[in-house]
Amino acid sequence: MLISLVVPCFNEEDILERFHERVTDEMTRLGHAFQLVYVDDGSADRTLPILQELAAADPRARYVSFSRNFGKEAAMLAGLQHAEGDAVVIMDADLQHPPELVGRMLQEHAQGYDQVIARRTRKGDRVTRTLTARAYYWLINRLVDVELVDGVGDFRLLSRRAADAVLELTEYNRFSKGLFAWVGFPTTTFSYENAVREQGRSAWTFGKLLNYGLDGLLSFNNKPLRAALYLGMLLMSLAFVYAAWIVGVALVKGVDTPGYVTLLVVLTALAGVQMVMVGVVGEYVGRIYYEVKRRPHFLVKATNTRAHRPAQEPE
């Protein structure tokens, strides 16, 4: 049985050699045949030359290097396309996904699970981030069709058939957490203690996280559109009630003209609501725009390997 390890790398020059050593040691200890598929996501530092050195010294190391930064989702996709293994493990290059857990994943996989997820605790995270995450997952699980769990990231093992299923999903906007959940198959989860990043720094800024959260919300269904519809209907009914009230008062007490403030508040509130709704619609239209262009998910600048499961030809 061959195990592929898919490793997206973006500016990881400080840690790559150490990562490679730790992982190869661990895999050798486990006694499984393995290959490493490193994906250089358009790094601006020495990541690519380091990968080339690693590959020259170790035939188990493959690399695919992008022409620019396409994002981790694209990097994972490229890794999956190039992975030949009977099982694929996706892990970060920054050693926040402890290589020692791969053995445990393989054990669970041997029990018949197609997806083995390592879920991190939020130890060492800032309180604000933990709380926003909790609120986000509470909300999103009410809004999307697939179940998303806090702490469940991309550190997971996929069986061959689960990996192939993920590769069948060719959408341009990739929200992997959701794609993996959507694919299904027998899945099991275990927790591990979060390790603080050893070197370099996380590329996640608040803005990126916010966009990522929105992607999760919008990638999986059209419930936000429906919410906009309901909100519109609710506001319309309120307006009717209020209109009837004003007319009633005018009939009983005669016409009376104050209400400038009410008018202003209602008008601005409605304008706001309308803009939000147009925004929601626009988000979906934008997504359709990206999908219909059918651009490739990434462009390769250098590689020492061939895609095992190449991207499907657009019709």
**Least distance from C-beta 31 to ligand UDP, angstroms?**
26
Closer residue to ligand UDP in complex, CB, 43/219:
43
Q: What part of residues 104-163 is at the interface with ligand UDP (CB under 6 A)?
A: none
Closer residue to ligand UDP in complex, CB, 69/305:
69
Query: CB–CB of 169/158 below 8 Å?
Result: no
Q: Look up tokens 């927790």; give the residue.
A: 191
**Least distance from C-beta 21 to Mg ion, angstroms?**
18
**Least distance from C-beta 231 to ligand UDP, angstroms?**
33
**Least distance from C-beta 214 to ligand UDP, angstroms?**
17
Closer residue to ligand UDP in complex, CB, 56/203:
203
Closer residue to ligand UDP in complex, CB, 94/108:
94
Cα-only R_g, the chain: 25
Size of the site for Mg ion (CB under 5 A): 3
Q: Report the C-alpha gap between 251 and 11 in whole angstroms.
A: 72
Q: Edge-to-edge strands of the sheet including 33-40? A: 187-192, 115-120, 152-159, 87-90, 2-9, 33-40, 61-66, 300-303
Among 2, 22, 60, 96, binds Mg ion (CB under 5 A): 96
**Least distance from C-beta 68 to ligand UDP, angstroms?**
10
Token pair, residue 99, equals: 């290589």
Q: What part of residues 60-99 is at the interface with ligand UDP (CB under 6 A)?
A: 69, 71-72, 75, 92-94, 96
Among 12, 13, 108, 215, binds ligand UDP (CB under 6 A): 12
Residue 123 has what DSSP assignment?
A: T
Cα 261 to the center of its chain, rounded Å: 45
Q: What part of residues 19-58 is at the interface with ligand UDP (CB under 6 A)?
A: 41
Closer residue to ligand UDP in complex, CB, 54/75:
75
Helices marked H in the chain — which ranges? 16-30, 47-57, 72-82, 101-110, 127-143, 160-168, 176-183, 206-219, 223-253, 260-293
Token pair, residue 292, equals: 């219909």
Kindly report the CA angle at 10 between 5 and 11, in degrees rounded to 5? 125
How many CB atoms are closer than 10 A to CB 28? 10
Segments of the chain assigned E as strands: 2-9, 33-40, 61-66, 87-90, 115-120, 152-159, 187-192, 300-303
Query: CB–CB of 179/106 below 8 Å?
Result: no
Residue 215: which of Mg ion, ligand UDP, none does it interact with, CB under 5 to 8 A by kind?
none
Q: What part of residues 179-238 is at the interface with ligand UDP (CB under 6 A)?
A: 202-204
Among 40, 94, 154, 215, binds Mg ion (CB under 5 A): 94
Size of the site for ligand UDP (CB under 6 A): 16
Query: CB–CB of 91/192 below 8 Å?
Result: no
Of 140, 132, 292, which is closest to residue 224 (Cα–Cα)?
Answer: 140
Closer residue to ligand UDP in complex, CB, 40/108:
40
**Least distance from C-beta 258 to ligand UDP, angstroms?**
55
Closer residue to ligand UDP in complex, CB, 85/151:
151
Chain contacts with Mg ion (rule: CB under 5 A): 92, 94, 96
Chain contacts with ligand UDP (rule: CB under 6 A): 8-10, 12, 41, 69, 71-72, 75, 92-94, 96, 202-204
